[in-house]
Structure 1
Amino acid sequence: HLVDSPLFAGRHFQRFDLDPGAKVPVHLNVFADQATSLVAKPEQLQAHRALVQQMYKLYGARHFDRYEFLLALTDKLGGIGLEHQRSSENSGEPGYFTEWDKTWLGRDLLPHEFNHSWNGKYRRGADLTTPNFNVPMGDSLLWLYEGQTQFWGQVLAARSGLWSVQQTRDVLANVAATYDRGRPGLGWRTLQDTTNDPTIAQRRALAFRNYQLSEDYYSGGQMMWLDVEGKLRALTGNRRGLDDFAKAFFGMNDGDWNVHPYTFDDVVTTLNGVAPFDWATFLRERLDGHGPLTGGLEAAGWRLVYTDTPNDAFKAQESRARTNNLLYSIGVSISDAGYISDVLWDSPAFNAGLAPGMTVLGLDGRVFNGQALKDAITAARTGKAPLTLLVKRVDRIDSVVLDYHDGLKYPSLERIGGRPDRLAELWKPR
């Protein structure tokens, strides 16, 4: 309990009661670089209070005597999102409250970490549940620990009102695109194998992550659990879904703090209790297979498409990363100054010889900038001339020709006619 109980401290501090009058209190403890960042509007606090109630409705039990969100609003320290059973360590932008409409993208962090009190802390994979800190941990079940938490983090952001339905849909479109076109490494590596990454990579940055993969049990796991949700709905005539699994698997023994380990067989048994099916094969096909992880979208009445206009979540991600994300068109992520941070494996940019770490100095005979590249990609749709880039690689400067004419491509979700909107049902407050 001592090791699992962190401390935040700071000069500018405000504590908000998220469950007034409750016997099991929940507080949002906010620390900020400036006192002005601590001012929260009533509707903003109401969304956080709704998060607590929606989580209780999901699980039906609590495994803490009190819960303390620790939230640092700062750009002076590194970011954090770290779970504990009775608290979580989180950080956000200084304008988390004061620039509410601009900082929305990160508001699934608190739902994610709060969810871990049930999934990951109270119930934990058997090979991760060690008797002391001298015994190495195993991570084989992180596709449930983190994958389903990633799923619920975004669902609860919608149910509580921390995100709008449109914002949630845009974020899901971006995640789906990652596992439709943005992870060519799934052709050789499995989702299950990425659970070894905390040990073998130790969260170091990897070149060509889209081909090597890295901790894809998070968002790849999220897409797998969306597929499970769709299958449960289909098997039961829409009477049961992943909410029922969550309550059965994590919502027992209200008030109990003791860790309850689980195995793969436990997961399968609980799913069978919700809806009988060959769940072992269903899960293993997705964990050990090499196909796209987007089947849950069509089951929910939506399809992934690509348009020439970025959605709001895509634009927010570009702004946060300070990059132009052109991975789904020419296959490169590049800053306005020309620095290449990522190249999609086997994309036009990759096949032309571009790689992370290079810098583009010029485009078609002019000094490079990000908007000019987007404009040139758009213009090339109706022209035959290739793009010519002047590229600095270490101590060499070379010309690179990109013969690409398919225009800009950004992910979006499109309704499938004649099918019910299961996403709207999933994101509706309970």
Structure 2
Amino acid sequence: MYRHYTWLLTLSDHVAHFGLEHHESSDDRVDENSLAEAPLREGVAELLAHEYVHSWNGKYRRPAGLLSPDYQQPMDGSLLWVYEGLTQFWGTALPVRAGLVTPESYREMLASLAGSFDTEPGNRWRPMADTAAAAQILFSAPDAWTLSRRSVDFYEASVFLWLNVDAELRARSAGRASLDDFVKRFYAGAGGAPALKPYVEADVYATLAAIAPGDWRTLIRRHLDTTGTQALLAGLQSAGWQLTYSPEKNSYLETRLKRRKTVERQSSIGLRINDKGDDRGTIIDTVEDRAAAQAGAGPGMKIIAVNGRKYSVEVLDAAIAAAHETRKPIELLVESADYYRTLSVAYFDGARYPHLARIDARPDTLSQVLTARAD
């Protein structure tokens, strides 16, 4: 798979930020202050783990559809739920096993993902499989209307798919097998010089069935082909946890505010807001059936004031809390091109953030996934 592995890590505010995988190395670029605080370092750990996993999941074992023989043949991204989705799963789990991220932080991250899928309108009409098929278009799509359109969220949605697979492997084998066993078998190979071993979808099901017999295609295609969040949340529940909401802030979303300068209030009034420089207060996206959008808010508008006070995250949060007590709509003064409008946002349920809660009647397989291995 590789003779050695090298991470090239760039800390800079003057380059594009991404990770790019290779057989024996990766090009990883993050914000200049990404190592300054523990919550920010967690993001670096996840990026480095993600790109490292690609050495064997993506570079060594690669979907046959991504091996187009020439530029006249289109690439087939239908197995990106393995190439990227399983990589995302391990890219977030391995830092926990290594002690670089706490299990609590991981659960807050998972809750934020589940909460986002739970509120976005896009998954009500577009299945996850279609986001993989349209990846080459969605990668460059604008942030506006992402919640209604979906993005390349096969990365994040697949985490719940593979949690479901892990829990099912444990159940069908009476606890003798897990996703670790699938990885050992599916990605087995000799170390050394980079090699390439393609696969097709049936190979995934056959390997799973060799470990624990059963109809794996139906379970996985339920995640890929159905709309809504039933399969996704069922995957979370199969691991012994469920999505809940409370007024307590989600620590991962607060870190995201620092890392990406994005204010996430989609679970309450239904807004994602830019918090960076001159664009601070500009609406990135809206949840179309939530209060802000119903009042007329849309991507590109800039929030100037909230209830007569100059906009800030703190002022907005105070207004959300006040509306819960007074039952009076939140007044947003917004700028849209050359026009100003006052929107009356009838939201009265207060602060609402996603978290996870244990399901006592089910085994906690999520904690088993995150437990460090000695072998």
Match of 1:122 in 2: 60
Is the 1:93–1:103 contact (alpha carbons within 8 Å) kept by the matching residues of 2? Answer: no
Is the 1:105–1:313 contact (alpha carbons within 8 Å) kept by the matching residues of 2? Answer: no
Question: Cα distance 1:401–1:150, how it changes in 2: closer, same or farther (>3 A)?
Answer: same
Is 1:373 the equivalent of 2:312? no
Please state how far the C-alpha of 1:121 moved relative to its aligned partner.
0.5
Between the aligned partners of 2:268 and 2:208, the Cα distance in structure 1 is 39
Aligned counterpart in structure 2 of residue 174 of structure 1, from 100, 107, 112: 112
Give the secondary-structure state (helix, strand or coil) at the position aligned to 1:320.
helix
Is 1:70 the equivalent of 2:17? no
Q: What letter corresponds to residue 428 of structure 1 in structure 2?
A: T
Give the secondary-structure state (helix, strand or coil) at the position aligned to 1:239.
coil
Between the aligned partners of 1:235 and 1:345, the Cα distance in structure 2 is 41
Between the aligned partners of 2:48 and 2:35, the Cα distance in structure 1 is 14
Is 1:295 the equivalent of 2:234? yes
Match of 2:128 in 1: 191
Q: Which one has a larger percent helix, Structure 1 or Structure 2?
A: 2
Between the aligned partners of 1:102 and 1:111, the Cα distance in structure 2 is 15
Deviation track 1:336-361 (CA, whole Å, cap 9, x = no partner) reads: 64211121122111111111100122
Match of 1:220 in 2: 157
Is 1:242 the equivalent of 2:242? no
Please state how far the C-alpha of 1:188 moved relative to its aligned partner.
0.8
Please state how far the C-alpha of 1:409 moved relative to its aligned partner.
0.8
Give the secondary-structure state (helix, strand or coil) at the position aligned to 1:397.
strand
Deviation track 1:243-265 (CA, whole Å, cap 9, x = no partner) reads: 11111111234436321111111
TM-score by length of 2: 0.93
Deviation track 1:224-256 (CA, whole Å, cap 9, x = no partner) reads: 111111211221222211111111111234436
Gaps of 5+ in 1: 1-62
Aligned counterpart in structure 2 of residue 403 of structure 1, from 341, 346, 349: 346
Please state how far the C-alpha of 1:214 moved relative to its aligned partner.
1.3
Between the aligned partners of 1:367 and 1:316, the Cα distance in structure 2 is 24
Give the secondary-structure state (helix, strand or coil) at the position aligned to 1:103.
helix
Q: What letter corresponds to residue 209 of structure 2 in structure 1?
A: N
More moved, 391-400 vs 111-120: 391-400
Match of 1:92 in 2: 30
Question: Cα distance 1:329–1:137, how it changes in 2: closer, same or farther (>3 A)?
Answer: same
More moved, 193-202 vs 164-173: 193-202
Match of 2:207 in 1: 270
Please state how far the C-alpha of 1:96 moved relative to its aligned partner.
4.2
Is 1:151 the equivalent of 2:89? yes
Q: What letter corresponds to residue 52 of structure 2 in structure 1?
A: F
Give the secondary-structure state (helix, strand or coil) at the position aligned to 1:251.
coil
Please state how far the C-alpha of 1:155 moved relative to its aligned partner.
0.8
Match of 2:261 in 1: 322
Is the 1:380–1:407 contact (alpha carbons within 8 Å) kept by the matching residues of 2? Answer: yes
More moved, 72-81 vs 262-271: 72-81
Between the aligned partners of 1:73 and 1:217, the Cα distance in structure 2 is 27
Please state how far the C-alpha of 1:389 moved relative to its aligned partner.
1.4
Between the aligned partners of 2:49 and 2:282, the Cα distance in structure 1 is 34
Give the secondary-structure state (helix, strand or coil) at the position aligned to 1:179.
helix
Q: What letter corresponds to residue 306 of structure 1 in structure 2?
A: Y
CA RMSD of aligned residues (A): 1.8
Deviation track 1:120-147 (CA, whole Å, cap 9, x = no partner) reads: 1101111101335664322111011000
Question: Cα distance 1:153–1:102, how it changes in 2: closer, same or farther (>3 A)?
Answer: closer
More moved, 172-181 vs 259-268: 172-181
Is the 1:208–1:345 contact (alpha carbons within 8 Å) kept by the matching residues of 2? Answer: no
Is the 2:24–2:194 contact (alpha carbons within 8 Å) kept by the matching residues of 1? Answer: no
Is the 1:81–1:109 contact (alpha carbons within 8 Å) kept by the matching residues of 2? Answer: yes
Give the secondary-structure state (helix, strand or coil) at the position aligned to 2:75.
coil
Question: Cα distance 1:201–1:334, how it changes in 2: closer, same or farther (>3 A)?
Answer: closer
Q: Where do residues 49-68 of structure 1 align in structure 2 (5 Å cutoff)? A: 63-68=1-6
Identity of paired residues, percent?
39
Match of 1:82 in 2: 20
Match of 1:345 in 2: 288
Give the secondary-structure state (helix, strand or coil) at the position aligned to 2:242.
strand
Between the aligned partners of 1:416 and 1:138, the Cα distance in structure 2 is 38
Q: What letter corresponds to residue 421 of structure 1 in structure 2?
A: D
Q: Where do residues 407-426 of structure 1 align in structure 2 (5 Å cutoff)? A: 407-426=350-369
Gaps of 5+ in 2: none
Give the secondary-structure state (helix, strand or coil) at the position aligned to 1:404.
coil
Between the aligned partners of 1:424 and 1:285, the Cα distance in structure 2 is 24
Q: What letter corresponds to residue 363 of structure 2 in structure 1?
A: P
Match of 2:297 in 1: 354
Please state how far the C-alpha of 1:279 moved relative to its aligned partner.
1.0
Is the 2:304–2:332 contact (alpha carbons within 8 Å) kept by the matching residues of 1? Answer: yes
Q: What letter corresponds to residue 238 of structure 2 in structure 1?
A: A
Between the aligned partners of 1:111 and 1:277, the Cα distance in structure 2 is 31
Q: What letter corresponds to residue 112 of structure 1 in structure 2?
A: H
Aligned residues: 367
Please state how far the C-alpha of 1:73 moved relative to its aligned partner.
1.7
Is 1:308 the equivalent of 2:247? yes
Q: Which has the higher contact order (CA 8 A, sep 6+)?
A: 2
Please state how far the C-alpha of 1:97 moved relative to its aligned partner.
4.2
Between the aligned partners of 1:286 and 1:187, the Cα distance in structure 2 is 13
